[in-house]
Amino acid sequence: MKTTGRFLLGTALCCAVALSALAQENVPGKVYVAEVDGGVTFAVGGKINELKKGISLPVQGARIETAPGAHVILVYSNGTSIYISENTIVEIRKFVQKLFPKGVDTATNEPSISDTIVVVTQGTVIIVTNELATGTSMVYLTPQSQLKFRGKEVVIEAREQDTRIILVAGDATVTPLNAAPGNVGQVLHAWQLAVVTNSPGSIATAAETIQVTALDQNTLNAFALQIAAAERAQKIVVFESGPSEIQAKAVVPVNLPVPLTVSPSTLRTGG
């Protein structure tokens, strides 16, 4: 009995140590290519990777550029999807996440804490998340702004003179890049539109550079199809955590039925 007790205790301690190590380890995240259309360049360290629907690949350090008329939808291994529209340049400066136990439903919940830093130099991206894990950090930078996104659905347009942030659902904090030290930024809620301007070389307050208004239906309608496509992309892949890396598994059938009509009323609006 004493031997059996020591064996069970030792097994429990080993399991606890293994789970503790699993919880602490950050690994480079991956993306799954849910959709690609037209000319899309995906380069890491100067090496160009060919994008094909259904493949997964590491994304940290990637520079993604879309040609006129092109777009790509990627699903991060934390379950977040990003629709990168035409004429857009995106740099994934950081995307790491913790390994997670088997059996986690990555289609509805973020499986582990992640850390994302993305620069949108120009163009339009749409980000759709599941329920994010407590402790996750998601930051999107543009030439005019820093957006700390806490989840759900957002459209970011980096334009020549300003940045438009369309928060469809969830909440976020936007701060101008030329903000004075200690500036806490402007909190955005669902169905708000923020326009951020920037005067290079000057220090301004958030009130001077961020204009927030209610989101009107016509503005949302302009992105309804892209938002719906980003939502569908989340449903065609799940992720599993191995001993040292995260792997993507396509959901069968890969080609989901495409609705004949898409109404903004079907989008996941609200808090």
Per-residue pLDDT for 269 more than 80? no
Domain range for 215: 10-249
Over range 73-78, report the average pLDDT: 98
The rounded percent of the chain whose pLDDT value lies above 70 is 80
SS3 of 12, please?
helix
In a domain, 90, yes or no: yes
CB 201 within 8 A of CB 215: no
In a domain, 264, yes or no: no
CB 167 within 8 A of CB 187: no
User: Residue 167 contacts by C-beta under 8 Å, 6 or more apart in sequence?
Assistant: 153, 154, 188, 189, 190, 191, 192, 193, 194, 215
- CA torsion sign, 27 to 33 to 37 to 41? positive
User: Residue 150 contacts by C-beta under 8 Å, 6 or more apart in sequence?
Assistant: 132, 138, 170, 171, 172, 173
Count how many domains the chain has.
1
pLDDT tens profile 55-70:
999 999 999 999 999 9
The token pair that represents 73 in the structure block: 């939808």
In a domain, 229, yes or no: yes
In a domain, 255, yes or no: no
**Distance, C-alpha 117 to centroid of its chain:** 9
Q: What is the mean pLDDT of the chain?
A: 86
In a domain, 206, yes or no: yes
CB 40 within 8 A of CB 10: no
Over range 155-164, report the average pLDDT: 95
In a domain, 3, yes or no: no
- Nearest C-alpha neighbor of 168 from the set 120, 211, 207, 129: 129
Calpha distance 229→22 (Å, rounded): 33
In a domain, 44, yes or no: yes
pLDDT band of 131, cuts 50, 70, 90: very high
Provide the CATH number for the domain around residue 245: 2.60.120.1440
In a domain, 270, yes or no: no
